[in-house]
């Protein structure tokens, strides 16, 4: 979800990092077109990509300094990205993964419970949030979560159990209140399992990825359906979106003026604005392009 996006954006060199890559991870990196694979993770991986390694050594080839570093990680990765931000570009400072499910009395409690557990097994600080307007549905989901957790294998069971200690459910007066709370949280993943789910989804404004209806499982987004799954967490969905080619592209502007006469109105405006700001040097630089005004530096030039 990162290498393919970088390649699609036209990046000439793509570096991936993972401390203990399984064969399938290496295969995926090859298929995605990665140029270099670092067998390192955490802050060390971020430092290597940010600052590079100038020369080949006993451990491998030289590593070019990367212009942009993207992708989620643990708290050490996030801390390291915050340090190198500015020296190179980053996508976001990712927090713990999260899912928020809005559901009503039509929801399948076992399905919702499975989705909450799927998120909780990510990390002990992951958040699984439930918003519903149905007391009956809420209670049924709590029972289903307990039943499904009981038969989850380790270490997933222990991880999910700890994550649920940081998770919560809210019984709302109606679905509009669910939407209001959801927009305030701006979850990474937002599932809608209600009647008229698409209409409810359209009324939601802040989220990383939206999954509409019982069959649109967030886990399907993890592994292939929909857009990029590197998504904003920790409420950052209020002002940013998921990873895309735009994270690897720059807006570069340029100006060219061939018709001096046609540009005079802009020249005159620039002279006035510069002096209003007290920037006399700016004004005189504009006057040097004027066909109607003698530059002040000529008027006030010392006699030779």
Local confidence pLDDT in tens for the 304 residues of the chain: 899 999 999 999 999 999 999 999 999 999 999 999 999 999 999 999 999 988 887 777 888 999 999 998 888 999 999 999 999 999 888 888 899 999 999 999 999 999 999 999 998 999 999 999 999 999 999 999 999 999 999 999 999 999 999 999 999 999 999 999 999 999 999 999 999 999 999 999 999 999 999 999 999 988 877 678 889 888 889 998 899 999 999 899 999 999 999 999 999 999 999 999 999 999 999 999 999 888 888 886 666 6
pLDDT at position 180? 97
Burial state string for 108-135 with b = 16 or more CB within 10 A and e = fewer than 16:
ebebbbebbbbbbbbbbbbbbbbbbbbe
| Residue 74: per-residue pLDDT | 84
- Catalytic residue from among 98, 189, 214, 229: 189
The active-site residue out of 98, 121, 188, 214 is: 188
Query: How crowded is the C-beta side of 67, counted as CA atoms within 13 Å?
Result: 9
pLDDT at 302: 67
What pairing do the DSSP bridges indicate for beta strands 15-17 and 36-38? parallel
pLDDT at 95: 82
pTM: 0.84
**Residues sharing a CB contact under 8 Å with residue 14, sequence separation 6 or more, in sequence order:** 3, 6, 7, 32, 33, 34, 35, 36
Q: What is the pLDDT of residue 34?
A: 94
Contact 21, 37 (CB under 8 A): yes
Pairwise CA distance, residues 60 & 15, whole Å = 13
Per-residue pLDDT, 94:
82
- The pLDDT value recorded for residue 304 is 62
Q: What is the pLDDT of residue 184?
A: 96
Cβ atoms of 197 and 111 closer than 8 Å: no
Please say if 188 is a catalytic residue: yes
Per-residue confidence (pLDDT) for residue 156, from 0 to 100: 95
How confident is the model at residue 60, as a pLDDT?
A: 75
Q: How do beta strands 98-103 and 68-69 pair? A: unpaired
What pLDDT is stored for residue 228 in this prediction?
80
């Amino acid at each position: 979800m990162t290498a393919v996006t970088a390649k699609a954006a036209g990046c000439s060199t793509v570096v991936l990092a993972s401390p203990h890559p399984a064969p399938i991870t290496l295969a995926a990196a090859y298929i995605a077109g990665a140029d270099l694979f670092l067998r390192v993770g955490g802050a060390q991986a971020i430092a290597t990509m940010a600052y590079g390694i100038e020369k080949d050594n006993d451990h491998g080839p030289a590593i070019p300094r990367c212009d942009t570093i993207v992708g989620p990680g643990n708290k050490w990765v996030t801390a390291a990205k915050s340090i190198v931000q500015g020296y190179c570009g980053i996508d976001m400072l990712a927090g713990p993964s999260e899912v928020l499910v809005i559901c009503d009395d039509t929801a399948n409690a076992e399905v919702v419970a499975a989705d909450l557990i799927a998120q909780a097994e990510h990390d002990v600080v992951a958040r699984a949030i439930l918003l519903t307007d149905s007391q009956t549905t809420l209670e049924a989901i709590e029972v289903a979560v307990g039943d499904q957790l009981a038969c989850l294998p380790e270490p997933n069971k222990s991880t999910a159990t700890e994550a649920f200690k940081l998770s919560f459910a809210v019984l709302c007066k109606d679905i509009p209140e669910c939407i209001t709370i959801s927009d305030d949280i701006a979850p990474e993943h937002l599932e809608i399992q209600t009647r008229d789910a698409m209409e409810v989804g359209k009324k939601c404004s802040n989220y990383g990825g939206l999954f509409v209806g019982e069959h649109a499982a967030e886990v399907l987004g993890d592994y292939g359906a929909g857009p990029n799954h590197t998504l904003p967490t920790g409420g950052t969905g209020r002002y940013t979106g998921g990873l895309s080619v735009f994270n690897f592209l720059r807006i570069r502007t340029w100006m060219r003026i061939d018709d001096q006469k046609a540009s005079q109105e802009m020249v005159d405006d620039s002279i006035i604005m510069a002096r209003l700001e007290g920037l006399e040097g700016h004004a005189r630089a504009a006057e040097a392009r004027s066909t109607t005004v003698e530059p002040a530096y000529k008027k006030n030039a010392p006699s030779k």
